[in-house]
Chains A and B, each alone.
Chain A
Amino acid sequence: MSMVLIPEKDNTGNDPTQRPELILGQPDFAQLTESVCRVSEAPSPPRVWYVALSISLAFTIILHVMIAYLLWEGTGVWGIQIPVAWGWAIANFVFWVGIGHAGTLISAILFLFRQKWRTSINRFAEAMTIFAVICAAIYPGIHIGRVWFAYWLFPIPNYLNLWPQFRSPLLWDVFAVSTYMIVSLLFWYVGMVPDLATFRDRAQTRVRQVVYGILALGWRGSSRQWHRYECAYLLLAGLATPLVLSVHSIVSFDFAVSLIPGWHTTIFPPYFVAGAIFSGFAMVVTLAIPARYLFDLKHIITLRHLENMNKIILVTGMMVGYAYGIEFFIAWYSGNPTEAFVFFNRALGPYAWAYWTMISCNVLIPQFFWFKKCRTSIWFMFIVCIFVNIGMWFERFVIVVTSLSRDFLPSSWGYFRPTLIDVMTFAGTFGLFFTLFLLFCRFLPIVAMAEVKSILPKAGLDSGPHHGHGQYWGEIPYQHDEAAKEGGAGV
């Protein structure tokens, strides 16, 4: 692919005396609007987009066929069998929900931490979140077998007068994932409203005027609107932050409240959250690299953005590695023979190949990101992130299958094998995911324009480079005394 040969402008330097440029080429507001809007306004998207969309659509069709077949025949078409009744369906569910964590992390947690670089990537990361959660939500729905009773998951009064069992972690999951879906969707949409208004006001065709006009809800960008909007956005970020943590914690409860050795361990909630962020960021990088080439956004999603994400991947990868290590240590330290057996079996038993794939992809390969050369090489990071995606899928596979396939009763031990239907369904969800993502790229604002504008140097939020050395004392810009007084200068 020749496009990678275009030289990257390196803005990853680290000079503590000044803050780096986040958006390259010093665009003014209009140029920025133009470079984002043309993705959608161009008469036709790049040819690669059509190719990718056709492939994705083909896989989406496969997904539908597989689901139809499953519903017709029953869950026996999968490789699941007692005691491995969870198999790929739950591993894939956790995999997709995990990927769905990066978007809200970027939009909420990095917002609260005032990480300005988030503005370039938050929009499409949030979109990715929603599409990943859609893919995830398919699995528990079809895994229950009789999907026409799926509404029993919700507390709807029925003729049996039965209620869902609120003590069951599987029900907590229903609430967690649906809440996460709704709040992420709102967060994404509320964030998009000002940009949709920009689309509306630039629209040249009647169709675009009407469609974006409806979607923009009559946004005017008046200061009174912005005032409340910013407040609401902050509140949503404050709510979404614990929500992100809670969702994957609750997913981990599915496993950890049980008595199954290898599942029942207290580190699970934070460990799952770290793993989710880890896999989510890997997916964001995997998508960002082609998207920035395809839609010519290299000056907005710069090398620095990618490097920052790679650092987060390194940190969260280490957290995951930490959890693997602590689990192993406590499995021995606890003196519980079944617990020790499960971990011994993971590393040296029939699934050792999966376990060591997971360790290599999740713990060893990200270690390359200690080196700046690796963090800033597009090709290299792309490969590492693909490995992380693979590794995180294997993590869920290892957790689900190794523990279940070695039941307390050795007579029921076996070796889990997925069927072709399992594989095709999983491949199909990737088709759905990429279809939605490609449509999003073409029809919605792929970058949060209003937010990026607010961090352009022209916006004046950046106080510009700091002055030279030795001058700090002469001109310390003490806060206006108002703030000092508020803080209680006189105590």
Chain B
Amino acid sequence: MNRRIFMSVHECEEDLLGVVKAVRQQGLKIVDIYTPYPVHGLDRAAGFGPSRLPWICFVLGLLGAGLKVWFEFWTTAQDWPINVGGKPWDSLPAFIPVTFEVMVLFAGVGTVIALFIATPLYPGKKAVTPFARTTDDRFALLLEEEDATFDPDQVRMLCERYNAVRVEEREEKY
């Protein structure tokens, strides 16, 4: 299926934030926004909800810590108890450092994997950017021309009010 994409390119984040707010007020459908760096306040302007990554991080951290405490207890006190310096079999204070490290390991690695799955990012993935300079110095807003009510001329004027340096329409397969 094909869809028509309307792209507006801007030079600074103020213009971008302005135009994003304006098109959202008009009820237009934003396909995506491309920026060279994380623009402060764009999440709110584009209406994204909070990310769920903190929960993944928290749960994995707990899981890592829990598993490690169990493992340390099992190896040291159950599977093959060895008397070391008269320390108790279940030397909980001595287990804490490694438990902490494993918690951080699980939470950290898990967060990155979750990020790569959600974003999605993996080696060999083809990057689809509207044009090369969005990773350098250009901010691009992509709108979908959903139906006949979408008036390209009117939207073009709107974007130009926010100093669009380039406006174009293109056909895209998806």
Contacts and interface: CB of A to CB of B under 8 A. Distances in A.
Interface string B110-152: 0110111011111111111100111111000000000000000
Contacts of A458: 12
B105 interface: yes
Q: Which 8 A-B pairs have the closest CB atoms?
A: A218-B125, A29-B137, A163-B75, A217-B121, A223-B33, A231-B51, A201-B132, A232-B115
Contacts of A221: 34-36, 129, 134-135
Nearest to B20: A223
**Interface secondary structure of A, over-half rule:** helix
Given A224-B48, A231-B51, A454 B98 contact: no
Of A167, A176, A193, A230, most buried by chain B (CB within 10 Å of CB) is A167
Interface residues of A, number: 70
15 contacts: A29-B137, A155-B71, A167-B84, A175-B101, A186-B109, A201-B136, A221-B34, A221-B134, A222-B32, A223-B42, A232-B115, A240-B108, A242-B104, A450-B38, A460-B40
A205 interface: no
Contact of B101 (A179, A190, A214): A179
Contact of B104 (A183, A226, A453): A183
Contacts of B111: 232, 235-236, 239
Interface string A214-258: 111111111111111111100110011011001001100100000
Interface in A78-99: none
Given A223-B35, A228-B53, A197 B135 contact: yes
B136 A33 contact: yes
Interface of B: 12-14, 32-40, 42-43, 46, 48, 50-51, 53-54, 57, 61, 71-72, 75-76, 79-80, 82, 84-85, 87, 91, 94-95, 97-98, 100-102, 104-105, 107-109, 111-112, 114-116, 118-129, 132-137
A225 B97 contact: no
Contact of B105 (A182, A216, A219, A223): A182
B136 A29 contact: yes
Interface of A: 28-30, 33, 155, 161-169, 171-172, 175-176, 179, 182-183, 186-187, 190, 193-194, 197-198, 200-202, 213-232, 235-236, 239-240, 242-243, 246, 249-250, 253, 449-451, 453-454, 458-461
Given A33-B136, A183-B104, A214 B124 contact: yes
Given A218-B126, A246-B97, 18 more contacts: A33-B136, A163-B75, A166-B98, A179-B108, A182-B109, A183-B109, A190-B115, A214-B123, A218-B128, A219-B127, A219-B135, A221-B134, A222-B33, A223-B43, A224-B48, A232-B111, A250-B101, A461-B40
